[in-house]
Structure 1
Amino acid sequence: MSHPSFPGPRGLARHAWLPLAAAMCLILLAGCGRKAPDADAAVPVIAMPVKATDGSIAGRFPGEVHARYEMPVSFRMAGRLIERYVDPGEQVKQGQPLALLDPADPSQELSYAKAVLDAAEHRLLFATQQRDRDEAQFKQNLISQLQLQQTQDSYASALAGRDQARQQYKLAQSTTLVADHDGIITSRQAEVGQVLAAGQTVFGFAQSGEREVYVDVSESRVGDIAIGRAATVTLPALPGHTYAARVREIAPAADAQSRTYLVKLTVDHADASLQLGMTADVALEGVKSSDSAITIPATALFHQGEHPAVWVVQPSDSKLDLRPVTVARYGEHDVLITEGLKAGERIVMQGVHAVSAGEKVTPIAPPHPEDAPQ
């Protein structure tokens, strides 16, 4: 009787490799149909050539109208706020109530102020009696001139201490916050029911009267400005109105973030139409103009550490180069460049944080025409 023959170990191994070999061939064939990725493929970026701007713009700066005196308003004692009588934007008069503390909260401070006043009045009574007695004895030549002067000094000190304690007691009795001057409430910093510390801000306050315009000047332009420099102020909200102004103050140090210097200008003959918070265009006299001024969108500005820079597309190989620039003015939507760029050079307008130096790119236009530089 014949038995079926079975393959040996070597035959089994040979048959087991056949499906695996077939699968590897299919993978290799599929791979041959694909194109290897190009390491030098250009990345599309929104980039446009820049245009020269009128150099006279370098002497103009965007600004904002402020009050000459702006200050926080607060209670001089701690307590719980139970009432607010005004809101931001309201005009207030001197002596007008603004807010109220819970009268029960300052009772301990009031008791302490009363005790201090009682002690001061007792010291004053003793000093008065001593002064009267020494003056009588001096007339009889019983004490020296020096001793009389010391007694009189003690009396004057006790009188000043009593007046100070009386003032503190008066303040402790008052739980109503009142306006010290005519002005406008610019902000609210505390809510009803909130427990306030002594001196904690309740309102922002702008005093009536003088008006100023604040502008930010780059470090490359601040050297052209001096105290007393004349300027002309115009406002988009008040067409046809022009105000004369002069530089009153220049910040001694640059802002840590923007690296610009705050310049305050006092407006001459400011009228009621000059409202707080209005945007202004300030033309400073004597600021050097630039024949190579270029305006770029704010989205095109990149910071290399603390220094501003832009990504320039090299025309020879379409690769990116990070170039330092000098900013003359920061606007709301654009930036004025006076050094580092030339008209016609192509720069990255958007996505400046998604590219790197030496990267090859393909410049494309912005998806919205209004985003292109004017």
Structure 2
Amino acid sequence: MAVSVLLLAGCGRKAPEAETATPVIALPVQAADGATAGRFPGDVHARYEMPLSFRVGGQLSARYVNPGDVVKKGQALAQLDPADTNNQLAAAKAALEAAEHRLLFATQQRDRDEAQFKQNLISQLQLQQTQDTYASSLAGRDQAKQQYELAQNQSRYTTLVADHDGAITSRQADVGQVLTAGQEVFGFAWSGEREVYLDVPESRIDGITVGQQAKVTLPALPNHVFAAHVREVAPAADAQSRTYLVKLTIDQPSDALQLGMTADASLQANKPVAPGIDIPATALFHQGEHPAVWVVRPADATLELRPVTIMRYGERDVLISDGLKAGERVVMQGVHTVSAGEKVAPIAPPHPEDAPQ
């Protein structure tokens, strides 16, 4: 009976359960280029973007292009009803013909009176009156000629023509609409030069100067890196966003750069900067008032809260100067849901774009 009790007691004991590892998003960190002054999101624009409009008013009778169409220089884009301008042109032409006829008659009269004056057949006063009539007729002809040329221009202006190769970016008027002179009909972007627009917060604008070098990458073109430079820095902040518009010019634009593509620009520092470790802002944890990160120990896959020294805060990342080494695995997300000594199973972010670059 004693042996049976011992056997039953032995069967009732359970083997100790292995500690369950908590899955966390953790990736190895990489050394950051010390020459990078900051990274900013942006989008691709044309070097020259402008509205297209008619120089004269009228009713829009035809539209030949739509947003997204690529057009060539000299191509007709839209047409106004030409009835009024055609009538003005016909009236100006008739006025010019009448002025030329009056000038011809005044010229003949002047020639006759000058010949008669030499023979003392007419008075000095009559000759002066004839010459005055000729001068008035000549000025009237010149004025009518200018009016005719103006009417010709007005007639040509009823056709909206592309003055450069480019693309239609927007449409602001429909057929049948009555337009005033200068009212926008299309948005237009020139072909050729491409730029990247950045919205830089006021805390970072002091480190950006005209001519500063930059590198531009695009999610849509993962295998391309474009060299660029700062062409323009806005002198004042936007009233709503309180950010400064910075324009980067792509040094060697490519046809693959499509308008509106999202971009990521890394500005090069004007002065040498010590290298550091770049981590996403979501990986930063605060131990009291001191910044820290969760590091996965490689020996046993447990977490260690390690203090770090911040070199620079960015829009989406933080540059660490001390406390981390390249290759160490750091928790990138969910830093407030883990604890020191906890055993974890590192996994990659569910979305590739969330991984540090």
TM-score of the two chains, using structure 1 as the length reference: 0.52
- Match for residue 256 of structure 2? 273
Please give the residue correspondences for 1:63-212 in structure 2 after superposition, counting only pairs within 5 Å. 63-106=42-85, 110=88, 114=92, 118=96, 165=147, 167-174=149-156, 175-212=158-195
CA contact 1:81–1:194 (8 Å) conserved in 2:
yes
> What corresponds to 1:220 in structure 2?
203
Conserved? CA contact 1:228–1:247, under 8 Å: yes
- Do the aligned partners of 1:77 and 1:106 also contact (CA within 8 Å) in 2? no
- Aligned-partner SS, 1:257: coil
* Per-residue deviation, residues 164-222 of structure 1 (Å, max 9, x unmatched): 65553222112211111111101101011111001111000111111111111111111
Question: Which stretches in structure 2 are left out of the alignment for 5+ residues?
Answer: 1-28, 112-138, 290-311, 320-335, 339-348
* Matched residue count: 244
1: distance between equivalents of 2:42 and 2:145?
47
Equivalent residue, structure 2, for 1:243: 226
3-state SS in 1 of match to 2:152: helix
Equivalents in 1 of 2:262, 2:73: separation in Å? 28
- Secondary structure at the counterpart of residue 95 of structure 1: coil
What one-letter code is carried by the residue in structure 2 that aligns with 1:62?
P
Q: Does 1:282 align with 2:265?
A: yes
- CA RMSD across the alignment: 4.7
Aligned mates of 1:257, 1:81 — CA distance in 2: 35
Map 1:12-23; keep pairs closer than 5 Å: none
TM-superposed CA distance for 1:53, in Å, is 12
2:213 equivalent to 1:230: yes
Residue 59 of structure 1: SS of its match in structure 2?
strand
Distance 1:240 1:106, change over 3 A: same
In the alignment, structure 1 segments of 5+ residues that lack a partner are 1-51, 134-156, 298-311, 316-325, 330-334, 339-362
C-alpha contact (below 8 Å) 2:89/2:152 kept by paired residues: no
Code of the aligned partner of 1:66 = H
Distance 1:166 1:194 in 2: 28
Q: Distance in 2 between matches of 1:296 and 1:116?
A: 76
1:104-123: CA deviations, max 9, x gaps? 24457x3599389849x87x
**TM-score, with length taken from structure 2:** 0.54
Cα 1:107–1:231, aligned 2, differ >3 Å: closer, same or farther? same
Residues 53 and 160 of structure 1: CA distance in aligned 2, closer, same or farther (over 3 Å): farther
Quick check: 240-249 or 284-293, which moved more? 284-293
